[in-house]
Amino acid sequence: MTHVIEQSLLQEKLYRRRIEPGLEVFVLPKKGYRKKYATFSANFGSIDSHFVVEGEGKEIVVPDGVAHFLEHKLFEDETGNVFDKFAVLGASSNAFTNFTNTTYLFSATENFPECLEVLLDFVQTPYFTEESVEKEKGIIEQEIRMYEDNPQWRLFFNLLEALYQEHPVKIDIAGTVESINKIDKDILYKCYRTFYHPSNMVVFVVGDVEPESVLNQVENNLNKYNHQPLGEINRLYPTEPPEIVRDYVEQTLVVSEPLLNLGFKETDVGYDGLPLFKREIATSLMLEAVFGSSSQLYNELYEEGLIDDEFDAGYVAEVGYGHTVIGGETAHPEKLYELLVAGIKRAQEQGIDAQTFEHHKRKMMGEFLKSFNSLEFIANNFPAYHFKNINFFEYLEVMQDIKLEEINVRLQEHLDFKRMACSVIKPLK
């Protein structure tokens, strides 16, 4: 049975069907687009390394980096490389793993039904051998090395390590050279059978397509596999204390300028759905008002030569964790730190006024509408929010409902200096 979700502000219609045993499928028709883009996502990310499946009894702990490793290996099947199957159809395929989920995707202008069939089939058909798992280790090792030389990436993970005591979000998505060397085919199969069950997955299709025929195709495909119901997956995360680990962390790298990130750890965690979505949007609005390019603080820092126009403040809201990251390149990290702290205190004393608030709502509304040009933006974001029980298409309505008082409360509560850490990268002398 297909449900139609209409979104009047966006002028879009979304089609939804649930296919047994529990796959959620969404189709968003976009007239006039050449591109057809499909994602197949599993609610399985780098933080899911400790779990137990209902009815199976035993708790399982897997090495760091498994979700990402599995993503790499799923592209191989008995006949070889899945990339080739898409290549024959003139489509391009890819995948990505983040903290909370893994997504496989393709984009095509022609042969859409054939491409969709390849996507659905390869994600449902694991094929791991000892040999191919070993071969992948060299490739992933070079991926890890590449990130070791990426200053922004190091800055960010150093910050997470300073903020989090226990939570696996502090560990690099790809794991470490040491942890990936512990991965073997049995571990991959175990994770696959747990997390790649349809009830833990979402298909999202966007482009100039006919929704009913896409939904029927997915349903027919899934029926071939005769999936059995799976007990509930219980993800075990360590208890994360509200306290941070350390308030300052520094590394030297080959960079032209120092880099600084300030992080604030969220303590209001443990829930999903609309309340989480509201908190995310309210916090983002607050950060825009305090640190955005039209704010007093931003302009003072810019004129002092302490920041450049890449300076940014962003908020992440997941069910089990959340944090704000503020910063960028700076010639004088100590001075920037001092002025950011002073600027936050001043903002907390003054509060955010109604006009600033309305301006930022307008700006965020415009930005959201603009991002809807991008089929990738829609299809990559929607499933990630769906896994948090959030309908991403309600963004504009939820934002409209947010009150000035709410963002002022976030300003006081979230930007708490007790939960603040600072990460700095300094140039190697």
Catalytic residue annotation? 71
Encoded tokens for 363: 């700006």
Spatial CB neighbours of 11, under 8 Å, sequence gap ≥ 6: none
72-79's contacts with Cβ under 8 Å and 24+ in sequence apart are 72/136, 72/139, 72/140, 73/126, 73/128, 73/132, 73/133, 73/136, 73/188, 74/104, 74/122, 74/123, 74/126, 74/192, 75/122, 76/127, 76/128, 76/132, 77/122, 77/125, 77/127, 78/127
When binding is defined by CB under 8 A, the residue of 6, 129, 130, 145 that contacts other proteins is 145
Residue with tokens 């490793």: 69
Tell me which residues in 13-32 interact with other proteins (CB under 8 A). Answer: 30-32
Return the number of the residue (36 or 414) whose C-beta is nearest other proteins.
Answer: 36
Work out whether 182 is an interface residue with other proteins (CB under 8 A).
no
The one segment of 160-168, 186-194, 248-256, 409-417 that binds other proteins by CB under 8 A: 248-256
Q: Minimum distance from CB of 427 to other proteins (Å)?
A: 9
- Partnered with residue 36 across adjacent β-strands are 108, 207
Interaction pattern, residues 63-102, with other proteins; x per rule: CB under 8 A: ------------------x-xx--xxxxxxx---------
Q: Is 36 helix (H, G, I), strand (E, B) or coil?
A: strand
Q: Minimum distance from CB of 131 to other proteins (Å)?
A: 11
Output the DSSP codes for 398-411.
HHHH--HHHHHHHH
Tell me which residues in 333-372 interact with other proteins (CB under 8 A). Answer: 359-360, 362-367, 369-370, 372
Return the number of the residue (61 or 254) whose C-beta is nearest other proteins.
Answer: 254
Applying CB under 8 A, what is the total number of residues that bind other proteins? Answer: 71
246 contacts 421 by C-beta, under 8 angstroms: yes
Residue with tokens 């443990």: 270
When binding is defined by CB under 8 A, the residue of 5, 255, 274, 316 that contacts other proteins is 255
Work out whether 114 is an interface residue with other proteins (CB under 8 A).
no
Q: Minimum distance from CB of 286 to other proteins (Å)?
A: 15
Q: Minimum distance from CB of 368 to other proteins (Å)?
A: 9
Q: Minimum distance from CB of 96 to other proteins (Å)?
A: 14
Return the number of the residue (39 or 200) whose C-beta is nearest other proteins.
Answer: 39
The one segment of 145-153, 268-276, 338-346, 416-424 that binds other proteins by CB under 8 A: 145-153
Return the number of the residue (309 or 349) whose C-beta is nearest other proteins.
Answer: 309
End-to-end CA distance of the chain: 64
When binding is defined by CB under 8 A, the residue of 184, 308, 397, 401 that contacts other proteins is 308
Interaction pattern, residues 147-166, with other proteins; x per rule: CB under 8 A: -xxxx---------------
Work out whether 270 is an interface residue with other proteins (CB under 8 A).
no
Q: How many helices (H) and strands (E) does the chain have?
A: 15, 17
When binding is defined by CB under 8 A, the residue of 42, 47, 108, 421 that contacts other proteins is 108
Tell me which residues in 363-422 interact with other proteins (CB under 8 A). Answer: 363-367, 369-370, 372-375
The one segment of 97-105, 132-140, 273-281, 333-341 that binds other proteins by CB under 8 A: 132-140
- The candidate with the shortest Cα–Cα distance to 410, out of 213, 268, 222, 257, is 268
User: What is the signed CA dihedral for 186, 191, 194, 198, rounded to 10 degrees?
Assistant: -120
Output the DSSP codes for 237-252.
-PPPPSS-S-SEEEEE
Return the number of the residue (293 or 412) whose C-beta is nearest other proteins.
Answer: 293
Handedness of CA 127, 130, 133, 135 (dihedral sign): negative
- The candidate with the shortest Cα–Cα distance to 257, out of 336, 313, 312, 332, is 332
Return the number of the residue (19 or 105) whose C-beta is nearest other proteins.
Answer: 105
Q: Minimum distance from CB of 419 to other proteins (Å)?
A: 29
- The candidate with the shortest Cα–Cα distance to 69, out of 46, 93, 87, is 46
Going across the sheet that includes 233-235, the strands are 60-61, 50-53, 233-235
Q: Minimum distance from CB of 161 to other proteins (Å)?
A: 18
